């Protein structure tokens, strides 16, 4: 009986708050570190419109795994960017907003113009056109000793190339992504070898053994310039993102980490390589791209 009274009190308290100030939104955050950054940026785009924004991170308590239920997904956003503005929504408020104000792209249209209050979840195409420039970097202070040492090594390189090979729950072509073949990564490496004789390559992947057996085995001629970063694991994916962001240039795959590493690097003249077409071995070269490419085949 007492718990029921408490729930009713919270219900009417939230209802009154919404009535007094309808300019409120809750944004769901889930997935890996790149998804978390993207969804936080959605909230920031709303906040820039004068909307009170809170975040729902209950997914990490309820599930916290990749699509296959194999690799861990922790809430790492505040570990990676300790100084960003962030307010967590209460369980009661999340329940209330989901029940009464869930967002639907087809009904509400462009999300920043949606009628408020609103609960924003999942991934919608109109998000991309309203995201604000991301000016943060990952501070080395968030890294543990082993990764900080590797960060110093990467920063000393004259031309460090960060290569992300997404596998795991994206190792099979399905949904909105197409798997990148080994030849794609080899072609990307060869592009940088021709451009920089002293280039060094840092490979990041959730399946490092696959990278070794399918990609690095074909790069024996430069094996002293190739590093496979395999010590972090899925529970420290944000440290891989940090290390990769310290590189000078980037190679992305069907996941978005390569593109987010590029976004977090604010140096001029940086190069980002992506597949010419989804799943192609041919490469496409982007010069000094400041944001993430809004392509469903690459953004997941």
Render pLDDT for 257-295 as a digit per residue (tens, 0 to 9).
Answer: 999 999 999 999 999 999 999 889 999 999 999 998 865
Contact 164, 258 (CB under 8 A): yes
Please state the domain count of the chain.
2
Q: Considering 130, 153, 185, which residue would you say is the last residue of a domain?
A: 130
- Segments forming the whole domain that contains residue 150: 140-287
Look at residues 81, 76, 82 and name the one whose alpha carbon lies nearest to residue 232.
Answer: 76
What are 189-205's pLDDT values in tens digits? Answer: 999 999 999 999 999 99
| pTM score of the predicted model | 0.91
CB atoms within 10 A of CB 115: 11
What are 29-43's pLDDT values in tens digits? Answer: 999 999 999 999 999
- Are both 48 and 18 inside the same structural domain? yes
Residues 232-248, buried b or exposed e (16+ Cβ, 10 A)?
bebebbbbbbbbbbbbb
- Are both 101 and 180 inside the same structural domain? no
Residue 293 Cα distances to 10, 76, 80, 161, 280, angstroms: 41, 22, 22, 19, 17
- Are both 277 and 164 inside the same structural domain? yes
- Are both 206 and 260 inside the same structural domain? yes
- Are both 8 and 117 inside the same structural domain? yes
């Amino acid at each position: 009986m007492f718990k029921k009274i408490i729930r009713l009190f919270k219900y009417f308290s939230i209802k009154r708050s919404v009535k007094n100030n309808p300019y409120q939104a809750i944004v769901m955050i889930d997935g890996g570190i790149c998804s978390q950054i993207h969804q936080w940026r959605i909230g920031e785009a709303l906040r820039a419109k004068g909307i009170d924004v809170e975040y729902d991170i209950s997914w990490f308590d309820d599930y916290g795994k990749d699509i296959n239920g194999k690799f861990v997904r922790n809430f790492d956003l505040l570990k990676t960017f300790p100084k960003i503005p962030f307010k967590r929504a209460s369980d009661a408020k999340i329940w209330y907003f989901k029940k009464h104000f869930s967002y639907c792209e087809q009904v509400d249209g462009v999300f920043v113009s949606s009628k408020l209050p609103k609960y924003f979840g999942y991934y919608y195409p109109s998000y991309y056109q309203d995201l604000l420039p991301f000016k943060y970097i990952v501070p080395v202070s968030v890294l543990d000793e082993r990764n900080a040492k590797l960060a110093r090594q990467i920063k000393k390189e004259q031309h460090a190339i960060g290569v992300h090979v997404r596998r795991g729950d994206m190792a099979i072509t399905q949904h909105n992504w197409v798997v990148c073949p080994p030849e794609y990564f080899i072609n990307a490496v060869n592009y940088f070898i021709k451009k920089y004789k002293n280039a060094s390559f840092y490979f990041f992947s959730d399946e490092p053994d696959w990278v070794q057996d399918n990609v690095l085995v074909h790069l024996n001629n430069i094996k002293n310039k190739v590093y496979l970063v395999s010590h972090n694991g899925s529970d420290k994916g944000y440290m891989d993102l940090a290390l990769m962001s310290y590189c000078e240039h980037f190679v992305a795959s069907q996941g978005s980490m390569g593109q987010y590493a590029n976004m977090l690097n604010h140096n001029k003249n940086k190069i980002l390589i992506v597949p010419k077409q989804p799943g192609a071995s041919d490469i496409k070269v982007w010069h000094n791209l400041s944001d993430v490419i809004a392509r469903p085949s690459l953004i997941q």
